[in-house]
């Protein structure tokens, strides 16, 4: 006999919001690669809002560990698909492409350091403010057609990686 675990209240809504956010990520990436960055920016903004709402719900009682894991996975998907599409579309040379590559690399490094620190038992916090700012800057860059928000995203991602590395290093020294 199969027994199902009782899910926390609101789990279905949280998962639906996150799944629709994942679909919006795919749409945003497709639009950017299809040379429609403005429309891709609006789809990226929709995905960002859904991921932030779903992540907030998952971390504050309306979801379980699966929902928190899905939030992290979709955050990586947002970076890889949306920022990766910017790299693809802008080519391999030029400031926007380099800034997008730096932002993507630093974002993944930051996420790895957070996950590795958490696996070691250290308290490395994930900030929804930092995540939201990263989403907003990329979206502004796509919708407005400017390259400076992508450069700011790269700076933010590098700073976030350094902060997390220093947090893990401090906890390692204290242990």
CATH number of the domain enclosing 78: 1.20.120.1760
Tell me what the pLDDT averaged over the chain comes to: 89
3: in domain = no
81: in domain = yes
Q: What range does the domain containing 92 cover?
A: 11-174
Domain count for the chain: 1
- Which of 64 and 75 is assigned the larger pLDDT? 75
| Region at 126 (left for phi over 0; alpha for psi -120 to 50; beta for the rest) | beta
Which tokens hold the place of 63? 């979801």
* pLDDT for res 94: 77
Which tokens hold the place of 25? 């990520």
5: in domain = no
Q: How many Å apart are CA 65 and CA 14, to the nearest integer?
A: 12
6: in domain = no
Lookup result for tokens 């502004």: 140
31: in domain = yes
The whole-number average pLDDT for the span 141-170 is 92
* pLDDT for res 2: 65
165: in domain = yes
Long-range contacts of 168-173 (CB under 8 A, 24+ apart): 168/113, 168/116, 168/117, 168/120, 168/122, 168/124, 171/117, 171/120, 171/122, 171/123, 171/124, 172/120, 172/122
* pLDDT for res 122: 85
In 3D space, the residue among 52, 30, 73, 58 whose CA is nearest the CA of residue 133 turns out to be: 52
On the question of pLDDT at 140 being above 70, the answer is yes
Which tokens hold the place of 72? 């992290």
């Amino acid at each position: 006999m199969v027994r199902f675990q009782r899910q926390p209240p609101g789990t279905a809504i949280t998962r639906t919001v996150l799944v629709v956010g994942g679909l919006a990520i795919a749409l945003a990436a497709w639009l950017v690669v299809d040379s429609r960055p403005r429309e891709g920016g609006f789809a990226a903004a929709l995905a960002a809002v859904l991921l932030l709402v779903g992540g907030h719900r998952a971390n504050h009682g309306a979801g379980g560990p699966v929902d928190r894991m899905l939030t992290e996975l979709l955050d990586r998907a947002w970076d890889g698909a949306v920022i990766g599409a910017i790299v693809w579309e802008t080519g391999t040379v030029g400031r926007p492409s380099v800034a997008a590559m730096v932002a993507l690399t630093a974002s993944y490094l930051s996420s790895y350091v957070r996950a590795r620190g958490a696996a070691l038992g250290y308290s490395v916090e994930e900030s929804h403010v930092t995540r939201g700012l990263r989403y907003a800057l990329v979206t502004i860059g796509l919708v407005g057609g400017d390259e400076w928000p992508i450069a700011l995203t790269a700076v933010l991602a590098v700073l976030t990686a350094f902060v997390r590395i220093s947090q893990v290093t401090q906890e390692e020294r204290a242990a």
